C-alpha cells in the first residue's frame, strides 16, 4: 500500500481506490506529483516542464539552473521564505526574530497501522487495516524537525495527514502556523464546495468556481462554528452527485480552523488546511513538540455521493468509538421545546408517561434542572439540582422515568459559567479574559478557561458527581456561545496566543475522561444546535444535535448539507410542534416525521398536548421507524435530489445487507403546471427484483395522519435496472410541504 522507489525517489501511497504520489526532488525537496484514481505504477509520464520563469528565484545551490524554482514546483508541504510565494503550510519565528526556515527531506519510515495523535482526536486502525508513512524533514540551521504523517487505509479511498514539529535547538521558537496538510494541484479546473451557515441554518451548500488569488473559509470563534464547517471539496466542474472527480478535505478538530485555496499565476491550485493561524501562536521551548490536528482527505471518482459514502463509512468505522459506535440509537423525547425552563417533576413525569405510551425510548431533561436556572441568566457552573423544580432530586426522577420503561438523559453545558453563579463568585479567574478589558457576553454567560488544568478537573468532578448520583443513560453536552477576549489568567505573556488551542486540548481531555468513565452512556454533543458538528467531537460523542432549527423544511437543507461529510446516524433530528418555533411554518405531521427519520429520530414538543388523532399518528411513525431503523441508522445513505436546486428533496437508504431500501421524497410548494417527477434510484442491484412492500403517499395538513395507503404500486415488483435507469414515478398531489416514502424489498 505504500511503496518507495529508491531509484526514482518516489513514494506511491495507494489502495484499490486511489493513488497519491510524492517525489523527493534533488534529495531534499518534497514535491506533490499525483492524487486521483489508482495507478498500477507511477513512471512520471507527466514530467514537470523545465521553464525559465521570470521572477521565480532559484535556491542558492541552483543558481545556474534557472528553470528550478520553489515558486513553480508543486509542493507537498509548502515552505516559507525561499522563493515559494504562495501560502505557506507553516510559519515559525526563530529566536533572532526572523521567520525564514527551510525544511528538507532527511529520512522516512513506513510501518503498519496508525499511531494515535498526542492529545487530539484522530482516526484509528489496526495493523492489518492501515499503513503509515512518516517523513522526517529538518532545518539544520534552526535546529527544528518536522514530521509529516500519512496513513492509507486498505479498504477506503481515504488518506489521512497530519504534521508535528520538534524544537531540537538550544533556544525557544514561536510557531505561528502549522497546517495539517498542504498540497498543490496542477490545474485550477475545479469548483469549490463548502458548508456555510449561521445559528439555526447550519451547513448550507455553497458551490462556486475557484477564483484566482486566495479564498478562505475559517472559524476564529473558538468552535468549529455554525458559520463555516471544517470541510472543503474541490470538484471537477461537471461533477454531480453521481459522477465526476471529487477531492474532499475534512478536519478532525473542533476549534479555530482555516481552509484556504490559492490559484496562482500559472493556473495551479494550492490547498492548505489546519488550525487557523489568526490568533494562534505557540512557544516551543527546546525539546518541546507540537502536533497538528488530523485532516481526512477523500478522493471520489463517483461524484459527491461517492465522497460522502466514503466519509460516512470511514467515520463510522475509524472515528466513532464505544458501545454506540454501531448500536441502534434510541428514539428520544426532549422537553426543551415542550417546556423551555418552565417545568417541574410532575410535568417531566407526565411527558415520560406519555412518551412510554407512544413507544419512545429515552426522555431527555434539557436545560433548567440545576442551580436557580429559570431563564438563561444564571447558574451555569453550579451543577446541583434545583430542589424547587425537582424536590426529590435527579435520582428519584431518573427512577421514575425508568419505571415508565424509558431511559433517562440529562443536559449539561459544562464549558460555561454564568456571572450569577456560585462558581463565578468563587473563581472569577476561571473565565477566559484579557486584563484591562471588560468581558463580552453571549447569552449572559462567559466561557470557562479550559486551558487550565484546575478548570478541567472541576468540570470532570462536577459532571461525574451528577452522573454517579442518578440513573443516567444519555448526556447532551452543549456549548452556547463563542469565545471573545481570549486570554488565560495562568498562561505567561508569551503563551497567550496558545489559549484557544490549549482550550481544545483541555476539552478533549475532559471528554476523554468522562466518556471513558461512563462507557454505557450515550453522549450527544451540541452547540446551539450544530455549531460544533465536526469529526473532533464525534470521536468522543457519536451523535450531534444537528440544528436548533426543528422545522422539517429547513431541516431538509441542513441535513442534506451535513450529509456531505457525516452519516445520518450522527445527526440528531426531532419532530416538533406546528407552527414551528423557529420559522412559524405549518407542516403535516408525516412530513415532520419523515424529515426526522433522516437522522437519529426523536420528538421535541409537548406530547401531552397531542390530540388523539396525533397520538395515533405518532405511534404509527414510531412503529414504522423501529421497523426500518437498522436500514436508516446503519445502512448506506444516498442523496437523489437536492433542496438547494429547487423545492424538492429525495434521499434513500439501503440496508447493510442490501435486502431493504427506503426512499424518501419531499416537495415544498405546490406548483401550477407542475412538472412530472420521476425518481431515479441509485446503488441497487440491477439484476435483482425489488418489491414495493410499503408506500406512504403524502398527507395534507389537516387530516389522514400518517396512514399507509393502499395504492396501485404496493406489491408490484421491478428490476433494479428499471428503478435506477427509467425511475420510479412520484404521484402528483396538490399540497404544500408533502412527503412520500417507499419501502422496497429485494427478492431472492
Ligand atoms: C441550546 C441547544 C438547545 C437547548 C438550549 C437550552 O440552544 O441547542 O437544544 O438545549 O441550548 O438552553
* pLDDT band at residue 704 using 50, 70 and 90 as cut-offs: low
Terminal CA-CA length for the chain: 37
Say how many Å lie between the CA of residue 528 and the centre of ligand 1.
5
Confidence band (pLDDT; 50, 70, 90) for 709? low
Backbone φ, ψ for residue 219 (5° rounding): -130, 135
Task: Work out which ligand 1 atom sits closest to the CA atom of 376.
Answer: 12
Q: Ligand 1 mean position to 527 CA, how many Å? A: 8
Question: 26's torsion region: left (phi>0), alpha (psi -120 to 50) or beta?
Answer: left
Contact between 21 and 12 (Cβ < 8 Å):
yes
At residue 104, does pLDDT exceed 70? yes
Q: Which atom in ligand 1 lies closest to the alpha carbon of residue 526?
A: 8
Please state, as a whole number, how many other Cβ atoms lie within 10 Å of the Cβ of residue 485: 16
Q: How many alpha carbons lie under 13 Å from residue 131 in its C-beta half-sphere? A: 14
Q: Is 366 in the pocket of ligand 1 (CB under 6 A)?
A: yes
The number of the ligand 1 atom at minimal distance from the alpha carbon of 529 is 8
Q: How far is the CA of 337 from the centre of ligand 1 (A)?
A: 9
Share of the chain above pLDDT 70, in %: 99
Residue 141, exposed/middle/buried by CB under 10 A (0-12, 13-18, 19+)? exposed
Taking residues 683-694, what's their average pLDDT?
Answer: 98
382 lines ligand 1 (CB under 6 A): no
Cα separation, 229 vs 196, whole angstroms:
7
- Do 236 and 189 meet the contact criterion of CB atoms below 8 Å apart? yes
Distance (angstroms) between ligand 1 centre and the Cα of 92 equals 40
Confidence check: pLDDT of 445 > 90: yes
> Is the Cβ atom of 548 under 6 angstroms away from ligand 1?
yes
For residue range 256-275, what is the model confidence (pLDDT) as tens digits? Answer: 999 999 999 999 999 999 99
Name the band, by pLDDT with cuts 50, 70 and 90, for residue 105.
very high
For ligand 1, atom 8, the nearest C-alpha belongs to 528
Examine the pLDDT at 293 and tell me if it is beyond 90: yes
Tell whether the model's pLDDT for residue 687 goes beyond 70: yes
Give pLDDT tens digits for 68-87.
999 999 999 999 999 999 99
Shortest-distance Cα residue to atom 12 of ligand 1:
367
pLDDT tens, position by position, 404-441: 999 999 999 999 999 999 999 999 999 999 999 999 99
- CA distances (Å), origin 222, targets 67, 226, 258, 427: 44, 11, 12, 22
Say if residue 708's pLDDT is above 60.
Answer: no
| Coil vs helix vs strand at 498 | helix
Q: In sequence order, what are the residues at sequence separation of 6 or more whose Cβ sits closer than 8 angstroms to the Cβ of residue 672?
A: none
pLDDT of residue 700: 78
71 lines ligand 1 (CB under 6 A): no
**Residue 655 reports pLDDT greater than 60:** yes
Q: Which of 699, 624, 609 is nearest to 660 (CA)?
A: 624
Q: What is the pLDDT of residue 710?
A: 53
Q: Answer yes or no: are the C-beta atoms of 534 and 224 closer than 8 Å.
A: yes
* Tens-digit pLDDT profile for residues 37-46: 999 999 999 9
- Which residue's CA is minimally distant from atom 7 of ligand 1? 528
Q: Is 336 in the pocket of ligand 1 (CB under 6 A)?
A: yes
Say whether pLDDT at 702 is over 60: no
Catalytically active residues, by annotation: 478, 548
**CB of 202 closer than 6 A to ligand 1?**
no
Q: Which atom of ligand 1 is nearest to the CA of 527?
A: 8
Ligand 1 center to 463 CA (angstroms): 18
Q: Are 345 and 391 in contact (CB under 8 A)?
A: yes
Q: Is 478 in the pocket of ligand 1 (CB under 6 A)?
A: yes
State in Å: Cα 367 to ligand 1 middle: 7
Q: What value does the mean pLDDT take over residues 22-39?
A: 98
Probe target for ligand 1 pocket from 475, 526, 604, with the most ligand atoms within 8 Å of CB: 526
pLDDT tens-place string over residues 182-220: 999 999 999 999 999 999 999 999 999 999 999 999 999
- Encode pLDDT of 298-323 as tens digits: 999 999 999 999 999 999 999 999 99
Residue 382 has pLDDT above 80, yes or no: yes
The neighbour count for residue 27, using CB atoms within 10 Å, is 8
Q: Whose CA is nearest to atom 1 of ligand 1?
A: 528
The stretch 561-585 carries a mean pLDDT of 98
Stated pTM of the model: 0.98
Distance 548 CA to ligand 1 centre (A): 7
Asked if residues 425 and 419 have their Cβ atoms less than 8 Å apart, the reply is no
For ligand 1, whether the C-beta of 528 sits within 6 Å is: yes
Q: Which of 341, 342, 367, 479 to mutate to test the pocket of ligand 1 (most atoms within 8 A of CB)?
A: 367
pLDDT of residue 699: 87
Is 90 exceeded by the pLDDT of residue 706? no
Average pLDDT, the chain: 97
Of 490-494, 613-617, 704-708, minimum mean pLDDT range: 704-708
Mean pLDDT of 220-248: 98
pLDDT-derived band at 123 (thresholds 50, 70, 90) equals: very high
* DSSP string for 538-552: HHH-SEEE--S---H
**Using CA positions, which residue lies closest to atom 6 of ligand 1?**
367
529 lines ligand 1 (CB under 6 A): yes
**Ligand 1 atom 11, closest CA:** 528
CA of 630 to the centre of ligand 1 (A): 28
Amino acid at each position: 500500500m505504500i511503496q518507495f522507489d529508491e531509484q526514482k525517489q518516489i513514494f506511491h501511497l495507494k489502495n484499490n481506490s486511489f493513488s497519491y504520489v510524492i517525489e523527493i526532488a534533488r534529495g531534499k525537496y518534497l514535491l506533490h506529483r499525483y492524487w486521483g484514481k489508482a495507478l498500477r505504477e507511477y513512471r512520471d509520464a507527466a514530467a514537470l516542464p523545465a521553464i525559465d520563469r521570470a521572477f521565480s528565484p532559484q535556491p542558492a545551490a541552483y543558481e545556474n539552473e534557472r528553470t528550478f524554482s520553489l515558486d513553480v514546483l508543486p509542493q507537498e508541504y509548502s515552505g516559507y521564505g525561499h522563493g515559494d510565494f504562495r501560502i505557506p503550510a507553516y510559519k515559525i519565528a526563530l529566536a533572532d526574530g526572523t521567520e525564514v526556515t527551510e525544511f528538507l527531506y532527511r529520512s522516512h519510515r513506513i510501518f503498519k497501522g496508525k499511531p494515535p495523535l498526542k492529545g487530539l482526536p484522530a482516526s484509528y486502525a489496526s495493523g492489518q487495516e492501515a499503513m503509515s508513512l512518516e517523513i522526517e524533514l529538518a532545518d539544520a540551521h534552526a535546529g527544528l524537525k518536522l514530521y509529516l504523517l500519512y496513513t492509507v487505509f486498505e479498504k477506503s479511498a481515504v488518506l489521512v495527514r497530519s504534521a508535528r514539529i520538534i524544537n531540537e535547538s538550544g533556544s525557544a521558537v514561536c510557531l505561528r502556523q502549522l497546517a495539517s496538510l498542504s498540497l498543490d494541484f496542477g490545474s485550477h479546473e475545479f469548483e469549490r464546495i463548502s458548508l456555510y451557515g449561521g445559528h439555526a441554518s447550519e451547513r448550507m451548500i455553497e458551490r462556486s468556481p475557484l477564483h484566482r488569488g486566495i479564498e478562505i473559509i475559517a472559524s476564529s470563534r473558538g468552535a468549529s462554528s455554525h458559520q463555516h464547517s471544517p470541510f472543503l471539496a474541490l470538484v471537477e466542474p461537471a461533477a454531480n452527485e453521481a459522477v465526476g472527480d471529487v477531492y474532499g478535505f475534512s478536519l478532525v478538530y473542533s476549534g479555530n480552523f482555516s481552509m484556504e485555496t490559492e490559484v496562482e499565476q500559472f493556473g495551479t491550485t494550492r490547498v492548505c488546511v489546519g488550525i487557523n493561524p489568526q490568533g494562534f501562536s505557540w512557544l516551543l521551548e527546546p525539546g518541546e513538540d507540537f502536533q497538528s490536528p488530523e485532516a481526512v482527505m477523500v478522493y471520489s471518482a463517483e461524484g459527491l455521493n461517492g465522497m460522502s459514502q466514503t466519509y460516512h463509512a470511514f467515520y463510522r468505522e475509524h472515528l466513532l468509538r464505544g458501545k454506540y459506535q454501531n448500536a441502534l440509537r434510541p428514539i428520544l423525547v426532549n422537553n426543551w421545546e415542550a417546556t423551555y425552563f418552565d417545568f417541574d417533576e410532575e410535568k417531566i413525569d407526565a411527558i415520560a408517561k406519555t412518551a412510554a405510551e407512544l413507544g419512545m425510548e429515552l426522555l431527555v431533561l434539557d436545560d433548567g434542572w440545576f442551580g436557580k436556572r429559570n431563564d438563561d441568566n444564571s447558574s451555569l457552573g453550579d451543577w446541583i439540582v434545583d430542589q424547587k423544580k425537582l424536590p426529590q432530586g435527579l435520582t428519584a426522577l431518573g427512577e421514575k422515568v425508568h419505571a415508565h420503561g424509558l431511559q433517562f438523559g440529562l443536559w449539561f453545558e459544562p464549558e460555561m459559567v454564568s456571572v450569577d453563579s456560585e462558581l463565578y463568585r468563587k473563581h472569577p479567574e476561571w473565565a477566559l479574559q484579557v486584563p484591562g478589558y471588560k468581558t463580552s457576553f453571549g447569552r449572559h454567560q462567559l466561557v470557562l478557561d479550559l486551558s487550565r488544568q484546575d478548570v478541567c478537573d472541576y468540570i470532570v468532578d462536577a459532571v461525574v458527581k451528577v452522573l454517579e448520583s442518578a440513573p443516567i443513560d444519555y448526556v447532551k453536552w452543549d456549548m452556547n456561545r463563542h469565545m471573545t477576549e481570549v486570554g488565560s489568567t495562568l498562561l505567561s505573556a508569551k503563551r497567550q496566543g496558545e489559549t484557544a488551542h490549549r482550550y481544545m486540548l483541555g476539552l478533549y481531555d475532559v471528554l476523554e475522561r468522562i466518556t471513558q468513565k461512563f462507557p454505557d452512556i450515550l453522549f450527544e454533543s451540541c452547540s446551539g444546535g450544530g455549531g460544533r458538528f465536526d469529526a473532533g467531537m464525534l470521536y468522543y460523542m457519536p451523535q450531534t444535535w444537528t440544528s436548533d432549527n426543528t422545522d422539517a423544511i429547513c431541516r431538509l437543507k441542513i441535513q442534506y448539507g451535513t450529509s456531505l461529510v457525516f452519516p445520518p446516524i450522527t445527526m440528531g433530528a426531532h419532530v416538533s410542534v406546528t407552527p414551528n418555533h423557529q420559522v412559524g411554518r405549518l407542516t403535516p405531521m408525516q412530513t415532520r416525521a419523515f424529515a426526522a427519520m433522516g437522522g437519529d429520530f426523536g420528538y421535541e414538543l409537548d406530547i401531552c398536548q397531542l390530540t388523539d388523532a396525533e397520538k395515533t399518528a405518532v405511534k404509527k411513525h414510531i412503529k414504522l421507524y423501529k421497523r426500518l431503523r437498522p436500514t436508516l441508522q446503519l445502512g448506506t445513505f444516498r442523496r437523489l435530489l437536492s433542496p438547494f436546486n429547487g423545492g424538492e428533496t429525495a434521499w434513500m437508504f439501503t440496508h447493510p445487507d442490501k435486502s431493504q431500501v427506503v426512499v424518501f421524497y419531499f416537495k415544498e410548494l405546490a406548483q401550477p403546471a407542475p412538472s412530472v417527477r420521476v425518481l431515479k434510484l441509485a446503488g441497487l442491484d440491477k439484476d435483482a427484483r425489488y418489491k414495493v412492500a410499503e408506500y406512504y403517499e403524502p398527507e395534507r395538513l389537516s387530516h389522514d395522519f400518517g396512514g399507509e395507503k393502499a395504492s396501485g404500486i404496493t406489491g408490484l415488483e421491478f428490476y433494479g435496472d428499471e428503478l435506477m435507469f427509467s425511475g420510479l414515478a412520484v404521484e402528483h398531489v396538490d399540497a404544500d410541504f408533502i412527503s412520500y416514502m417507499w419501502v422496497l424489498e429485494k427478492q431472492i
